Amino acid sequence: MKTQFGILIILIISQFGFGCGSKDNSAGDSSSGGGIIKTVPVKDLGIGPISKVELGDAIDESMAAKGKELFDLKCTSCHKTDKRFVGPSLAGVTERREPEWIMNMILNPEQMVAENETAKQLMMEYTAPMANQNLTEEEARSVLEYFRTLPADQNQ
C-alpha cells in the first residue's frame, strides 16, 4: 500500500523530468496534498509495437476466453489475479495502466523494464524481470481483453 503510493509519486515526478507532459495537464493533483492518486496524468503508452488499441464498449467474451486460456498457460507461473506472486496481481491492471502500455509490457518487456519509468519501478519492486513469453500481438490483445474481465484490485 505504502510502496505503491511511493511509486506513483515518483512516477509523476519522473514524468515531469522527461518533460514530455504538456504544462496544462492535471499534474496539479499531486500537489493538492494528501489525497490518494488514482491515475498518472500523462497517458503512458509504454514502449513497443503498440501505439493504439481500440477497446469495445462491451467485452468480447470469446476473445476474453481465449485470453484466459493463454494467460493460464503462459503467465500463471508468475502471476495470480488475487494476490501478489512473483509478479504483481493483475486484478485492476486495466485501471492502473493504459491498454497500450499493457500490451507493450507483454510484447516487449525487456525494453520496457529498461526504459519505461513505470516498468522500471515495478522491476525495482519485484526484483525479477517480467518474462517475454513470445505472444503474438493478437494473443496479447486477447489477454488484455481477459484482463478487462478481472475485478478491480481489492487492495487499491
Partner 1 sequence: MKKAFITLSLAALVAALPGCGNAGKKGGSSGALSGNAAERVYVAPGEHDEFYAFISGGFSGQLAVHGLPSGRLFKVIPVFSQDAEKAYGYNEETKPMLETSYGFVPWDDAHHPDLSQTKGVIDGRWCFINGNNTPRIARIDLKTFETVEIIEVPNSAGNHSSSYVTENTEYVVAGTRFGVPVPQRDMPIDEYKGNFKGALSFIKVNPETGKMNLEFQIMTPGFDYDKAHPGRGKSHGWFFFTTYNTEEANSLLEVNASQHDKDFIAAVNWKKAEEYMAQGKFKTMPARYAHNVYSEETHSATSTMMNEVKILDPAECPGLVYFLPTPKSPHGCDVDPTGEYIVGSGKLSANVTVHSFDKMLDAIANKKYDGEAYGIPILKFEDVLAGQVVQPGLGPLHTEFDADGNAYTTFFISSEVVKWKLGTWEVIDRKPTYYSVGHLMIPGGNSQKPFGKYLVAMNKITKDRYLPTGPELCQSAQLYDITGDKMVLLSDFPTVGEPHYAAGCPADLIKPNQTKIYKLEENKHPYATLKAEDARVERDGKNVHVYMTMIRSHFTPDNIEGVKTGDRVYFHVTNLEQDYDVPHGISMVGANTSELLIMPGQTETFVWEPKNVGVWPFYCTDFCSALHQEMQGYVRVSPAGSTIPLKWSLDGE
Residues near partner 1, by CB under 8 A: 72-74, 76-78, 85-86, 127-129, 131-135
Q: Could you tell me how many residues make up the chain?
A: 156
C-beta of 101: minimal distance to partner 1 in Å?
19
Task: Report d(CA 39, CA 92) in Å as an integer.
Answer: 12
The answer to whether 30 and 11 have CB atoms below 8 angstroms apart is no
**Binding stretches for ligand HEC (CB under 6 A):** 71, 74-75, 77-79, 86-88, 90, 93, 97, 102, 105-106, 113, 122-123, 126, 128-131, 133, 135, 143
The answer to whether 120 and 99 have CB atoms below 8 angstroms apart is no
Pick what 25 binds: partner 1, ligand HEC, none; C-beta below 5 to 8 Å, kind-dependent.
Answer: none
The three cell numbers locating residue 57: 464498449
The three cell numbers locating residue 128: 525479477
Instruction: Name which of 30 and 81 has its Cβ closer to ligand HEC.
Output: 81
C-beta of 41: minimal distance to partner 1 in Å?
28
Name the strand (E) or helix (H) holding 121: helix 117-126
Pick what 113 binds: ligand HEC, partner 1, none; C-beta below 5 to 8 Å, kind-dependent.
Answer: ligand HEC
